[in-house]
Amino acid sequence: MNRLGVEPSVTRWTDGEARFLDWTIDGVALRTMVPSQQQTPLFLDDAVWREAAVETLRRLLGELPGDFDDGRVALLVCPACGDLGCGAYSVEVVFGDDVVEWRALGWQTDYEPFDGLDEDGFTGARFDRKAYETLLGDLLSNYRV
């Protein structure tokens, strides 16, 4: 089993920067596994993104449908606008009795179907369902208004 977590991170681009919580898998930041300037919607200092954070967490918990027509959930999005048309790193979330799997990770936009797995070799992760739901539930409590 893998271990899901979060850690503070920052991304910078020409017009600014954003501080947010990045996903970690077994202590390694997702953005280092799939080198990217994209970010999670789990902002640390921008209340405007609270709703996006809540929606993402609820999607990852299976409470809402995915971001994309095929049911996939965006893990990393454009830091400037969060628009799925800019491209997002997405995942298929599969729930079992005792596990939650992140499968078929890769880049996707909202105007084209998902066309393949991550080219960087990160294929997925399996998490203990109780630990997964506890972490995401705690995060959800922090982001709800």
For the chain, list the domains and their CATH numbers: 4-143 (3.30.2450)
- Residues (pLDDT < 50) of the chain are none
| HEC profile of 14-73 | CCEEEEEEEEEECCEEHHHHCCCCCECCCECCCHHHHHHHHHHHHHHCCCCCCCCCCCCE
Q: What is the pLDDT of residue 111?
A: 87
Q: What is the pLDDT of residue 105?
A: 87
Q: What is the pLDDT of residue 16?
A: 79
Q: What is the pLDDT of residue 118?
A: 55
Beta bridge partners of 9: 20
What is the C-alpha separation between 35 and 57, in angstroms, rounded?
A: 22
